Amino acid sequence: MGPDIGALLTKEMFITGTQVNYFMVCKTKLWLFSHFVTMEQSSDLVAYGKLVHEMSYGEKKKEIIIDDRIAIDFIQKGDTVVLHEVKKGKRMERAHRYQLLYYLYYLNELKGVENVEGEIDYPLLRKKEKIVLTEGLREEMRGILAGIKEVIAMPEPPEASYQKICRRCAYFEFCWV
């Protein structure tokens, strides 16, 4: 039996960037992942994404982990600290954006880091997207974090609703077979 999820639901609840990403994509996936049902290790698509990540930006230090909550792909330091997230494609662009916004929020709000921005790198598309945490997005992130806590606190996973992305999801068989 896993840890008591209710005990984790405190003001300082452990929320990761992956959970923010999953909240934007699918609440069922978020609940399952947060309750230690992990299917990603058997997904070819996840493995491919990791390969793209490892093969891109070879000279940069990868996977900078802070407080076991956020894993930043690489950081550029200067007058402004730029956090980089490397993604294989834009299919989940909104989720990618909010995952990186959470990293900016976490570093700014909880760690006091100022002058921090983000960039999503799509090396296969040769595109980049700059991400800046505005006051409006900071407030939106607070709502998202409250929503994540609500989903995780549910006694069972929310009912899945079929989306186009479901067929490619590591949790497809759990929800639809």
What is the maximum alpha-carbon separation in the chain?
A: 51
The residue length of the chain stands at 177
pLDDT digits (tens, 9 = 90+) for 31-90: 999 998 876 555 455 454 455 555 555 566 567 889 988 989 889 888 999 999 988 888
Instruction: Average the pLDDT over 119-147 and give the result.
Output: 94
Question: pTM here?
Answer: 0.81
User: What's the CATH code of the domain at 23?
Assistant: 3.90.320.10
Find out whether 163 and 26 touch, Cβ atoms under 8 Å: yes
Number of domains in the chain: 1
Strand order in the sheet with 81-86: 74-76, 81-86, 116-122, 127-131
Give residue 43's domain range.
Answer: 5-176
